[in-house]
């Protein structure tokens, strides 16, 4: 099923799930307030998943015919316990770190919410990036769920909410938040909107 956005109740459910996961992260891995959220360490220490930067061609080789069109940002390989991120994207000086982090969060979302049956591969196409969250284009529900999970993980409600005024946030505040959370402007703006929606 493809939809343009998730229902608020569904977002709430994911929010709760992420909140529980974050609360269970051992303090030696994350103290619950330092930013940006150390998603690499959490993937490794909490989920036992190794994050690797690999070329797009390597991803294509694994995914083969089930590949979606366009570039792939990431893959979750549950069988070997690895998250692969697109090395070219990760190296971009302006947005590489933000993209890589969101991709890891997206794959962790699949790991936490969508695993069933035998080891599987979950990919993240570039067009299901954080920016697609607010696009009117329909997406498969699991992709939207994984994006919602990633946003909640990287921009925890408990840390973002105190920064939001009655009118939301202005351009300067948004910029400050982006830097603190190491998130893209689109993802950060979307996160603020979501938190106002489910307040």
Mapped onto helix, strand or coil, the DSSP state of residue 86 is: strand
Q: Which is nearer to Zn ion, 22 or 83 (CB)?
A: 83
Crossing angle between the packed helical segments 185-197 and 141-154, to the nearest 10 degrees: 90
Q: Which pair of tokens denotes residue 41? A: 């360490």
Binding mask 140-179 for Zn ion (x = CB under 5 A): ---x--x---------------------------------
Looking up tokens 């890589």 gives 100
The encoded tokens of residue 49 equal 């998943």
Residue 72: CB minimum distance to Zn ion, A: 10
Sheet strands side by side (includes 121-125): 50-54, 82-86, 72-77, 121-125
Question: Does residue 189 bind Zn ion (CB under 5 A)?
Answer: no
174 vs 106: CA distance, rounded Å: 22
Minimal distance, residue 125 CB to Zn ion, in Å: 7
Contacts with Zn ion, 114-133, as mask; x by CB under 5 A: ----------x---------
145 versus 177: smaller Cβ distance to Zn ion:
145
Q: Which is nearer to Zn ion, 98 or 129 (CB)?
A: 129
- CB-wise, 30 or 47, nearer to Zn ion? 47
Residue 137 CB neighbours (<10 A):
10
Contact 83, 51 (CB under 8 A): yes
Question: Counting contacts by CB under 5 A, is residue 99 touching Zn ion?
Answer: no
Binding stretches for Zn ion (CB under 5 A): 124, 143, 146
């Amino acid at each position: 099923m493809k939809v343009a956005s998730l229902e608020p109740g569904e977002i709430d459910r994911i929010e709760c799930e992420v909140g529980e996961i974050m609360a269970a992260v051992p303090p030696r891995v994350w103290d619950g307030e330092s930013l940006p959220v150390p998603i690499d360490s959490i993937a490794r220490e909490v989920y036992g998943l190794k994050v690797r930067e690999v070329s797009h061609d390597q991803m294509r080789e694994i995914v083969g015919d089930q590949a979606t069109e366009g570039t792939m940002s990431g893959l979750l390989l549950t069988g070997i316990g690895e998250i692969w991120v697109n090395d070219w994207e990760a190296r971009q000086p302006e947005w590489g770190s933000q993209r890589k982090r969101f991709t890891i969060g997206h794959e962790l979302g699949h790991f936490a919410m969508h695993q069933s049956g035998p080891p599987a591969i979950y990919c993240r196409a570039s067009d299901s990036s954080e920016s697609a969250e607010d696009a009117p284009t329909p997406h498969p529900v699991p992709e939207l769920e994984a994006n919602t999970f990633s946003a909640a993980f990287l921009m925890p409600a408990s840390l973002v909410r105190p920064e939001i005024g009655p009118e939301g946030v202005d351009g300067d505040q948004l910029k400050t938040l982006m830097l603190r959370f190491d998130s893209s402007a689109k993802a950060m703006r979307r996160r603020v909107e979501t938190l106002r929606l489910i307040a």
